[in-house]
Amino acid sequence: MKGNEAIAEGVIRAGCDGYFGYPITPQSEVLEYLMATKTKERTGMITMQAESEIASIHMVYGGAAAGKRVMTSSSSPGISLMQEGISFMAGTELPCLLLNVVRGGPGLGTIQPSQSDYFQAVKGGGHGDYKMIVLAPASVQEMYDFAKLGFELAFKHRIQVMVLSDGAIGQMMEKVELDEQVPRWTDAEIVKMHPWATTGKTPDRERNIITSLDLNPVKQEIININLQKKFKHIEETEVRFERIMCDDAEYLFVAYGSSARICQKAVMLGRERGIKVGLLRPITLFPYPTHELAKLAKQVKGMLSVEMSAGQMVEDVRLSVNGAVPVEHYGRLGGIMPAPDEVLNVLENKFIKNKNYELHTH
């Protein structure tokens, strides 16, 4: 399956109630797959092409407010259009699943893969002090797996979960192991599990009013403090990462998504050259594996953050190690993906041969 097809199948099997989206390359296969597989007939799941990305995210807002498992997907320019709605959902603590199959920018840019939306996803792309849980798949299997995991985390913490993929992962084809269908929740189950949801006024409770507006500054501060407490709890409990050949590593690649696949091969090439290099792959970009990087900083001589961007995640790597070890960045721009031997040569030149190595273009 393609990565885009895998997450589409994944949300169906995860018991999704509704998908609302709008086509944009390189993620259009998500909507196409859901339409072709006739989700209404399969599970009762609604699949709808909205008139725009702005309409899509506000349809997700409505579905989430009713306690339903709902999602949308887009690519970089479309996600930018959704930021107001995402911020509104953050302010109302509505759970949902979002997918960004990142393409190069800024502007319309290119349809080729990129990782230049890291700041937007991890630091909160809309207005206000908020965070989302951000999952970074590095395979088609993880695109599938993160559908179910995303919904679980979203409802566990009443938060928005973004799967931050890219055009390469979305378009590549790999074998995928599928699991059993998770039943969609009944209305009675939603009422019992999610007492905050707008499921209709009953005589035994007050109305549920979902809004992010409160003009009383004292109350608004309390709302924000409680949100920050939740984000802190997530940082303490939901960090996910993968260590590859880190036990004896003297140098470290830090990379996620497609860049991590490239670096995994670079680790193998480095070991063949006698360079003890490892890879730390963040799986959650928020919460970030800060403590693991700080621990590795006591062991290695240098870290290279490899990203398909001008350098965004590298800031979190540097914050994590707090000056304990040199941290450098290497990235390709405009939709170009680096080669494994390329990033290995950069590591050698920056840390072992102590040469300045600048980003080259063709």
CA distances from 199 to 35, 90, 212 (A): 27, 20, 18
Torsion angle, alpha carbons of 168, 173, 177, 180, to 10: 80
Task: For 295-319, write each residue's pLDDT tens digit.
Answer: 999 999 999 999 999 999 999 999 9
Q: Which CATH superfamily is domain 3-171 in?
A: Thiamin diphosphate (ThDP)-binding fold, Pyr/PP domains (3.40.50.970)
d(CA 111, CA 101): 10
Residues forming CATH 3.40.50.970 domain(s) in the chain: 3-171
Number of residues written out for the chain: 362
Task: For 16-56, write each residue's pLDDT tens digit.
Answer: 999 999 999 999 999 999 999 999 999 999 999 999 999 99
At residue 358, the pLDDT reads 47
Residues forming CATH 3.40.50.920 domain(s) in the chain: 241-352
d(CA 3, CA 217): 45
Provide CB contacts within 8 A for 360, sequence distance 6+. none
At residue 355, the pLDDT reads 54
CATH label, 241-352, candidates 3.90.330.10, 3.40.30.10, 3.40.640.10, 3.40.50.920: 3.40.50.920
CA distances from 20 to 10, 94, 147, 265 (A): 16, 16, 15, 37
Angle at 176 between CA 172 and CA 181, to 5 degrees: 130
Mean pLDDT by 10 residues, the chain (362 residues): 98 98 97 97 98 98 98 98 97 98 95 97 94 98 98 98 97 97 97 94 89 94 97 98 98 98 98 97 98 97 97 98 97 96 96 63 38
Q: What is the DSSP letter of 299?
A: T
d(CA 25, CA 10): 20
d(CA 64, CA 44): 16
Contact, 99 vs 162, CB < 8 A? yes
d(CA 147, CA 129): 26
